[in-house]
Amino acid sequence: LYTVLDKGEVVFNRELLEILYPSPYLAELRKVLKNDNLDPLIVLSLIRQESVFNPLARSPVGARGLMQIMPTTARRLKRSVREKHLANPSVNIELGTKYIKNLLKRYDGNLVYVLGAYNAGESRVERWKNLYFDTDETILKNIESIPFLETRNYVKLIFRNIFFYKILLDPEK
């Protein structure tokens, strides 16, 4: 894609953005989150990055489904859930959004911390907060301070996704 964009063979426009940033599950996300302060576009952006909307996605470390939830995290959120349930989009969205809401509460709404914890784990973010992050600094400086390249890139990609989804789907824009 970048090659054809660089060559000018494809025009970067709204139609291309709609192809690159589809919005399956958005109606379900809006329904699940209608009484919450969590923006469905944040969750949509996370799903795009985690699984590219594949409900059967499995990571090498064992995360499952749309939101790539670890089975142990899922059981912590809902005792009756089993690994096979994580392939069900509704169950995965229910548990994934619950987890994000818990992280938002834990980190006082700091999305850099939330996304870092979602990707690398809460214990790592706690360590990073003390060693690398400056709560008085900008989001960008805190993102650049994330010591794991994978997590740093992950957080940047989610923010990129949010940016493009807001352009495409936010009625205020």
Measured CA to CA, the distance from residue 165 to residue 173 in angstroms comes to 10
Measured CA to CA, the distance from residue 41 to residue 87 in angstroms comes to 21
Residue 62: DSSP 8-state: S
50 carries an active-site annotation? yes
Measured CA to CA, the distance from residue 8 to residue 79 in angstroms comes to 52
Q: How many residues does the chain have?
A: 173
Catalytic residue among 9, 18, 28, 50: 50
Angle among Cα 65, 157, 68 to the nearest 5 degrees reads: 10
CA-based nearest residue to 84, from 55, 61, 59:
55
User: Helix %, strand %, coil % for the chain, to 5?
Assistant: 65, 0, 35
Q: Which residues are catalytic?
A: 50
